[in-house]
């Protein structure tokens, strides 16, 4: 019997999840939630850029809660409204639906505080459901891969996970300018990421998870954001970045233990290849474990024919989709990344069925 899936949010990655779900005969899309009133009533397949699937999107939360479903793929950008997202997720769990989310804030519920962790656990208990947070970075390359590599270590002195991506072809003006702060003066407080506490709120959860799993006491977690300006105007997919404004940035968190920097989770993002040449280059992820032995790994996702950020979004989408069966089969409660069973992309060689077939 096909697993019944509800899609929550239809942004860039959400559309990828819908398309990938629709081509799998072992999944059946039974509902979709949108925050955008203009999308309500439209076919979920049409909105996702595939054939109509016979399921209308709704912005009515009660209608979603009333549906019978095995799992909700929750793709909302929870950082925009953490309390609202927690309330939505708890309601879904209480209604008996398992929830898989890619929101960075929910990678490690303990990091949200005892009240939130208890609320999620209680909702799972009342609904007999399971909650699972994952993603790509955060959600895989900042946690799962470094922890796996740590199995080869006698001693780790410092662990660093870095993402290096170009964002010149990413079309979202809100994400690139208003949120991250490209195109603003380096000291302009307007963009959201000018507040380093917000930067930390995206990645500190992963830092806490890795430290706790490896038994590393945490003195504190430091948030940081470094920027580099462009010497010339840049025309990028999201708009114009004037000369003298932010064209590259490095941001993330440092976990301090015993007075030393022990874990670093960070991103290096650029709008032109030649900016900040002293920073790591490329389109991928660097995992460095300094110790005995020292281990260095590089993972590149994508090809030159696809926008690097699209490939990263697709990897996020597939991590969520492949998690559904084991989350549905799990005992009720909060399932961490470290609780998930060993998993392979067992359908990776499948031939996609036509969407809507």
Tens-binned pLDDT, residue by residue, of the chain (357 aa): 899 999 999 988 889 899 999 988 899 999 999 999 999 999 999 999 999 999 999 999 999 999 999 999 999 877 668 899 999 999 999 999 999 999 888 999 999 999 999 999 999 999 999 999 998 888 888 898 999 999 999 999 999 999 998 889 888 888 899 989 999 999 999 999 899 988 888 889 999 999 999 999 999 999 999 999 999 999 999 999 999 999 999 999 999 999 999 999 999 999 999 999 999 988 889 999 999 999 999 998 776 655 656 777 888 888 999 999 999 999 999 999 999 887 666 666 666 655 554
Overall fold of domain 3-135+311-339: Rossmann fold (3.40.50)
Cα dihedral sign, 165-169-172-173: positive
**Residue 154 Cα distances to 45, 173, 214, 294, 353, angstroms:** 50, 46, 12, 10, 47
3 state SS for the chain: CCEEEEEECCCHHHHHHHHHHHCCCCEEEEEEECCCCCCCCCEHHHHHCCCCCCCEEECCHHHHHCCCCCEEEECCCHHHCHHHHHHHHHHHHHCCCEEEECCHHHCCHHHHCHHHHHHHHHHHHHHCCEEEECCECCECCCCHHHHHHHHHCCEEEEEEEEEEEECCCCCCHHHHHHHHCCCCCCCCCCCHHHCHHHHHHHHHHHHHHHHHHCCCCCCEEEEEEEEEECCCCEEECCEEECCCCEEEEEEEEEEEECCEEEEEEEEEEECCCCCCCCCCCCCEEEEEEEEECCEEEEEECCCCCCCHHHHHHHHHHHHHHHHHHHHHHCCCEEECHHHCCCCCCCCCCCCCCCCCC
- CB atoms near residue 78 (< 10 Å): 22
What are the structure tokens assigned to 340, written together? 């998930």
Domain boundaries, the chain: 3-135+311-339, 154-292
The pLDDT of residue 77 is 76
**Residue 136 Cα distances to 61, 145, 206, angstroms:** 28, 10, 11
The pLDDT of residue 217 is 97
Which one, of 320, 300, 325, lies nearest residue 311 by Cα? 300
What are the structure tokens assigned to 45, written together? 């397949």
Answer yes or no: are the C-beta atoms of 279 and 248 closer than 8 Å.
yes
**Residue 274 Cα distances to 63, 186, 271, 303, 350, angstroms:** 50, 18, 9, 20, 40
The pLDDT of residue 353 is 59
Residue reference for tokens 């929910």: 106
Query: Rounded distance, CA 106 to CA 30, Å?
Result: 24
The pLDDT of residue 352 is 62
Q: Residues near 106 by Cβ (< 8 Å), separated by ≥ 6?
A: 78, 85, 89, 112, 131, 133, 205
The pLDDT of residue 300 is 84
């Amino acid at each position: 019997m096909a697993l019944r899936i509800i899609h929550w949010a239809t942004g860039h990655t959400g559309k990828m999840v819908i398309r990938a779900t629709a081509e799998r005969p072992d999944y059946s899309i039974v509902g979709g939630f949108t925050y955008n009133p203009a999308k309500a009533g439209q076919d979920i397949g049409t909105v996702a850029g595939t054939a109509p699937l016979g399921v209308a999107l709704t912005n009515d939360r009660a209608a979603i809660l009333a549906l019978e479903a095995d799992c909700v793929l929750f793709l909302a950008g929870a950082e925009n409204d953490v309390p609202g997202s927690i309330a939505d997720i708890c309601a879904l769990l209480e209604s008996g639906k398992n929830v898989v989310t890619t929101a960075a804030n929910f990678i490690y519920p303990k990091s949200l505080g005892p009240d939130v962790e208890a609320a999620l656990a209680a909702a799972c208990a009342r609904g007999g459901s399971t909650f699972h947070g994952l993603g790509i970075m955060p959600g895989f390359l900042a946690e799962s891969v470094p922890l796996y590599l740590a199995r080869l270590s006698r001693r780790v002195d410092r662990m660093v996970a870095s993402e290096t991506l170009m964002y010149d072809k990413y079309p979202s003006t809100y994400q690139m300018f208003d949120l991250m702060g490209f195109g603003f003066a380096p000291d302009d407080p307007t963009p959201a990421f000018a507040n380093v506490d917000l930067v930390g709120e995206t990645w500190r959860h992963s830092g806490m998870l890795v430290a706790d799993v490896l038994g590393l006491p945490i003195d504190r977690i430091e948030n940081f954001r470094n920027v580099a300006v462009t010497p010339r105007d840049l025309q990028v997919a999201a708009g114009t970045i004037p000369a003298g404004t932010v064209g590259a940035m490095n941001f993330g968190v440092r976990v301090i233990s015993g007075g030393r920097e022990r874990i670093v989770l960070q991103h290096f993002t650029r709008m032109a290849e030649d900016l900040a040449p002293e920073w790591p280059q490329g389109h991928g992820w660097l995992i460095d474990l300094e110790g005995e032995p020292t281990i260095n790994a590089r993972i590149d996702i994508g090809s030159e024919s696809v926008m690097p950020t699209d490939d990263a979004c697709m990897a996020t989408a597939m991590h969520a989709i492949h998690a559904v069966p084991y989350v549905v089969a799990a005992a009720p409660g909060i399932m961490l990344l470290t609780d998930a069973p060993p998993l392979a992309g067992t359908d990776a060689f499948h031939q996609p069925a036509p969407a809507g077939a």
